[in-house]
Amino acid sequence: MKTQGFTLIELLIVMVLIGLMTGMAMLSMGNADRSKPLQLEAQRLSKLLLLAEQEAMIRGEGMAIELFQEGYRFLSWRQGQWQPETLDSLFKPRNLDAGIQLSFQLERESVYLNPRAGMTQQPRPQIVLAPDGGIEDLQIGIQAKNSETRYLVANSDQEGWRVANLESRP
């Protein structure tokens, strides 16, 4: 008597093999995608800085950004001092995801960043976006605490705002 089909053991072995292969594929995709949140945050910050630069030109008033290790906020000049931007929701304060932090260099010199907002009485912007469009050479680093991948948001007179990917710490 000849039976057709597979035995239960054969089916179980095939199911285990499919499960192992799927699991390994998911793990390898998860590792490759680890830098994606960093890249997205760097691109967001770059675009927001470009928009803020244009907004300063349109308003005819300077705008600024105050950076923290764990986030950033945009500021506008009102009543003789820098105040958090409230006119446009695009420029709302932003906290970075857990484990992601910022660093800042101005003219190739590292600048200390407070861990979070509220550490000082008055806002102290690191970057001022003037209505005439002039700005100094600067770099904002975005990096996960346990990662070698780092993104730089940089500005120069020749290239404007750009995002660069660095695979290892400098």
**What's the domain range around 117?**
35-166
CA distance 67 to 96: 11
Domain CATH for 81: 3.55.40.10
Q: What pLDDT does 89 receive?
A: 87
Q: What pLDDT does 119 receive?
A: 64
Side-chain-facing half-sphere of 125: CA atoms under 13 Å: 18
Residue 11 lies in a domain: no
How would you class 49 by CB atoms within 10 Å of its CB: exposed for 0-12, middle for 13-18, buried for 19 or more?
A: buried
Which residues make Cβ contacts (< 8 Å) with residue 56, sequence separation at least 6?
A: 62, 63, 129, 130, 131
| Beta-bridge mates of residue 102 | 142
pLDDT tens profile 105-131: 988 888 999 887 766 678 889 999 888
| Beta-bridge mates of residue 119 | none
Residue 16 lies in a domain: no
Residue 109 lies in a domain: yes
pLDDT tens profile 129-157: 888 877 778 899 999 887 788 899 998 77
Please state the φ and ψ torsions of residue 16, each to the nearest 5 degrees: -65, -45
How would you class 103 by CB atoms within 10 Å of its CB: exposed for 0-12, middle for 13-18, buried for 19 or more?
A: middle
Q: What pLDDT does 33 receive?
A: 58
- The number of folded domains in the chain is 1
Q: What pLDDT does 170 receive?
A: 46
Residue 87 lies in a domain: yes
